[in-house]
Amino acid sequence: MQPVIRTLAAVLLTGVLSMPAMPIQAQTSAPAAMPLAFADLEGWSGERHDEALEVLLRSCARAGIGREMARLCPAAKQAAQGGRAAARAFFEANFRPLRITSKDGRAGFLTAYYEPEVDGSLRPGAQFAAPLYALPPGRKAGSTAPYLTRGEIEAGALAGKGLELVYVRDRIEAFFIHIQGSARIRLEDGRVLRVGFAGKNGQPYTSIGKVLVDAGLIDRKEMSAQRLRQWLHANPGRADEVMAQNRSFIFFRRLAVEDPALGPVGAQGVPLTSGRSLAVDRNFYDFGVPVWLDSVLPEVDGRPEVFRRLMIAQDTGSAILGAARGDLFLGSGAAAGNRAGLIQHMADFVVLWPNEAALPSWAGPLPAAMTR
């Protein structure tokens, strides 16, 4: 996923939803680290460590992995040949668990994201009228210089310049694809086209969910990704005006769907794995770092599910702020999107720190046994 705005739960609705116990911004406070033993991690013994190791090896195959993690890649590759028990032994022999909290002891915080999967066409028509645009000529992928606003582009400023990559159903669908930063497009001839982040227009981001709440058009307690989409469709005469208040706009590029079982390429350059790839704050962690999560998260039907999982840091995002802050990649399609929109929950956030790596200064003083 692109590292600039992504994450529907974390960005679109920030400051709007009623949180289970604490607001997202609390995670930006100074972190603290508490050493644990692997025996302290409830559910650790039953985890599929081999699945997590397979995801880690994808990070090992990319240059973006952190230096200390890269040193462990040969051992990880060897452990992968030994199955589940060898994978567990690899993690326990090479890492030390650190439970990350804020200085006042508050736990970590999770949101989730996904890859939309929608119908579309390479040609405009009555059924598919909203284009996703390629990066305009002369504009660099990482540029933050101000460019045309969303409203100006939607009004036709780029129309007819040959930048239209693919057309989706309407501007609302396109808007939600912009938020996630990637999508799978099912074309009329049966092919599947993936589009991913190529750049943005350098304009400021505004949460339209917050706009609607502040205007009294949606109750704060009702706000969710699904409720926002419902309001936009129910108010077609005002939808464009509301969406235009978010001046930020995303440009895309075509990507091959090399493995339908994997998600889009994340910020590390690695295809994301549903339920195993995690977006983290790069101010605190290198790519490839394993993170153990322990939380209770809702299913699509609202039922709670105990979620204890070993994740691998492979992505980032501007809304992912803090050492105890994570964003789960949940896969592609509507079901993944419905669940992602529900997740804004506290969690135990335990980083597996490489044994040979120096502990970060933000971790604070630790027992002597942990400072080797």
How is residue 279 written in tokens?
């977006």
Radius of gyration (C-alpha) of the chain in whole angstroms: 21
Determine phi and psi for 160, rounding to 5 degrees: 75, 10
Average pLDDT of every residue of the chain: 88
Determine phi and psi for 167, rounding to 5 degrees: -115, 135
pLDDT at 325: 94
Q: Which helix (H) or strand (E) holds 32?
A: strand 31-35
DSSP secondary structure letter of residue 333: S
* Residues 296, 307: Cα–Cα separation, whole Å: 6
* Span 118-147, pLDDT tens digits: 999 999 999 999 999 999 999 998 899 999
* Residue type at position 30: A
Among candidate residues 4, 344, 314, the one with its CA nearest the CA of residue 178: 4
* Span 189-233, pLDDT tens digits: 999 999 998 999 999 999 999 999 999 999 998 888 889 999 999
SS percent in the chain: helix, strand, coil, step 5:
30, 25, 40
320: buried, middle or exposed (CB in 10 Å: 19+, 13-18, 0-12)?
buried
Could you give the domains of the chain?
8-47+94-113+262-370 (2.40.40.10), 116-255 (2.40.240.50)
206: buried, middle or exposed (CB in 10 Å: 19+, 13-18, 0-12)?
middle
**pTM for the predicted model, two decimal places:** 0.82
Split at pLDDT 50, 70, 90, the class of 47 is very high
pLDDT at 113: 92
* Span 307-346, pLDDT tens digits: 999 999 999 887 788 999 999 999 999 899 989 988 989 9
Tell how many helices (H) and how many strands (E) occur in the chain: 9, 14
* Span 66-99, pLDDT tens digits: 999 999 999 999 999 999 999 999 999 999 999 9
* Span 340-358, pLDDT tens digits: 988 989 999 999 999 999 8
CA angle 42, 47, 49 (to 5 degrees): 130
* Residues 14, 102: Cα–Cα separation, whole Å: 19
Split at pLDDT 50, 70, 90, the class of 29 is low
Split at pLDDT 50, 70, 90, the class of 5 is very low
